[in-house]
Structure 1
């Protein structure tokens, strides 16, 4: 029994799940109907559904960020890519003679995602071919991306009236919000490709030791291109969801600071920023913790101006509980308890 308990506590998912349960408990105490889910017109509604829908963009980006961080990299440009994606889609829809047409929306979404892919290739080129440090390479696009989005929107907030486009952010599919369905599909595809094939192991090997991986025949350059492109593609999808939910492209605020939330979700989930082993399941829990935390701020009545401080405190607590020093302390405590139990059995 003690061995099972030790294995559970030592899991990278233990403390994030504990923190998530604590946040849910706080919400249930403050609002007893928090876990209630109702069905209206065949669609699911409730606080839990709102958390899933609002947290979907963060999860989608965090999935791509997880693979980037696993290669010992980082992508600070995802927020700018999201803004560019939304700006491109809205500008195409507004310039169309039939903004409410499904065909127009399909073209707008396709063009936006192609541009996101190009931006991901640019990041991959700077990192894998030119050899620029990932934080600097993506900082370039992070800085310039908002300016590019402003140029596309001409400094204006582009408001669109297109029901098919709005459905991406606030529509429903099979009773669930479309954003949740898209997030689930992205997560499932990433999990299948990296855990059911050798791709995940190759990504981890590049993150652990790039030089040894190269000498072993791993095509590190191609992998870096792939993960940065996928991360930008994920950011493009998230940007479309955010923009569709607002029915407007705001170059200044769409995806603002979402790169930080994505990185926090990855770190909370137990993936090391030093590269190597990663956990997509942990990233999922981390994204839920981040969004539940934001919801808790409003449910409990904490002033929104201190949201960032509250978020930092929770993230710090989770990281401290996951730290090697804390694990070592728990290990010593388990050893003492086991020794005392052994003495008790001997004495009896």
Structure 2
């Protein structure tokens, strides 16, 4: 039992279960799932579907954070990716051509990889602090997305493109399979090869890892490239789900939600050991919290305040120092003489 209590997934799963229980008490049909026209519908399905882009971004952010870095540009990359794909599709006379959809997806993914490499080069080769290096693209990238869209919302009518974000496969949203594929690839690369050990080594001590023969610069560029790829795919999911691209609002604040998901999942911002499954649970907590806030009718003007307060409580519950302080305070209050007795005995 003590081992389970100390597991990095224990508290995140407890928080997720508490949110689910609250939703069930507030709305008894929260767990109901129906099958209509070969598609599953329900609140749980919506959480997985709408949370898929955030999970993707958070997976990429996990590896960046493990190297003691940060990527503030993921929201802008999400917007650029969606803008490029929708723009290229909207220019065609026949928007349902499969070759056009594939070309648009490849363009978005390719540009996202380039932007990720750009961040990695600034951090590893140029030596700029990660928060500053990625802040550059965070600001410039949002402007680039608006230039691509011309400051307008680009809409598309392609059914094949909308399938990426709103289609179903085996009665489940297709986005779930996209996330599962990316998560599986990331897990295999980091847990079944030496790459995961290299990432943790660079995060713990980049100088020592370099002295031991690990190409720290290549590792850092690789994780930022992967993070850009995840953000680019997330942009495709978001834009295809609504069949439009909004350079101003698409992916807005995704970088902050992704960082919160990583921290809630147990990965330290100081770098080192990382937990992909913990990040997925953290992203699900954030998405479930968002769904809960909308369901209970919290006014929009205080939604972010409520969200921030709950996330703060989650982080405090996860903190060993905070839990120890609470336990010590409770113990001192209920057994005031125990501390004095221990002092005399010692």
Pairwise same-fold verdict (TM > 0.5): yes
Q: Cα distance, 1:316 vs. partner?
A: 0.8
Match of 1:46 in 2: 42
- Decide whether the 8 Å contact of 1:13 with 1:270 is kept in 2: yes
1:120 aligns with 2:116: yes
For residue 114 of structure 2, give the secondary structure of its aligned residue in structure 1. helix
Give 1:329 deviation, angstroms.
4.2
- Which residue does 1:345 correspond to in 2? none
* Structure 1 residue 222 corresponds to structure 2 residue 218: yes
Shift of the alpha carbon at 1:305? 2.2
The residue number in structure 2 matching 1:346 is none
- The CA deviation string for residues 165-185 of structure 1, in whole angstroms up to 9 with x for no partner, is 111111111211111111111
Cα–Cα, structure 1 residues 185 and 272, in superposed 2: closer, same or farther, change >3 Å?
Answer: same
How far apart, CA to CA, are the structure 2 residues paired with 1:151 and 1:300?
A: 38
Alignment-derived partner of residue 8 in structure 2: 12
TM-score norm. by structure 2 comes to 0.93
In the alignment, is residue 146 of structure 1 matched against residue 142 of structure 2? yes
Q: Which runs of 5+ in 1 are unaligned?
A: 341-348
Residues 79, 259 of structure 1: 8 Å contact kept: yes
Residue 213 of structure 2 aligns to a residue in which SS? coil
Deviation at 1:97, TM superposition (A): 2.5
For residues 2 and 329 of structure 2, the distance between their equivalents in structure 1, rounded to whole angstroms, comes to: 11
| Superposed structure 1 runs of 4+ greater than 4 Å apart | 329-337
Partner of 1:323: 319
Query: Do the aligned residues in 2 keep the contact of 1:30 with 1:299 (CA within 8 Å)?
Result: no
Query: Which residue of structure 1 lines up, in the alignment, with residue 31 of structure 2?
Result: 35
Match of 2:283 in 1: 287
SS in 2 for 1:34: helix
Considering only aligned residues, what root-mean-square deviation do their CA atoms show, in Å? 1.8
Which residue matches 2:237? 241
Q: 1:195-210 counterparts in 2 under 5 A?
A: 195-210=191-206
Deviations 1:145-204 (A, max 9, x none): 011111111222111111011111111112111111111111111111111211111100
CA spacing shift, 1:62–1:82, aligned 2, 3 Å: same
Q: Distance in 2 between matches of 1:74 and 1:180?
A: 26
1:270 maps onto 2:266 in alignment = yes
Verify the 8 A CA contact 1:109 1:240 in the aligned structure 2: yes
* Counterpart-to-counterpart distance in 1, 2:6 and 2:302: 32
Q: Deviations over 1:264-317 (max 9, x none)?
A: 100111110110111111101101100000011122222232221111111111
- Equivalence for 2:70: 74
CA distance in 1: counterparts of 2:170 and 2:326, whole angstroms: 45
For the structure 1 residues 154 and 196, does the alpha-carbon distance in structure 2 shift closer, same or farther, using more than 3 Å as the test? same
2:341 aligned residue: none
Q: Is residue 160–residue 247 contact of structure 1 (8 Å, CA) maintained in 2?
A: yes
1:252 aligned to which of 248, 252, 256: 248
Matched residue, 1:136: 132
SS in 1 for 2:152: coil
**For structure 2, which runs of at least 5 residues remain unmatched after alignment?**
339-346
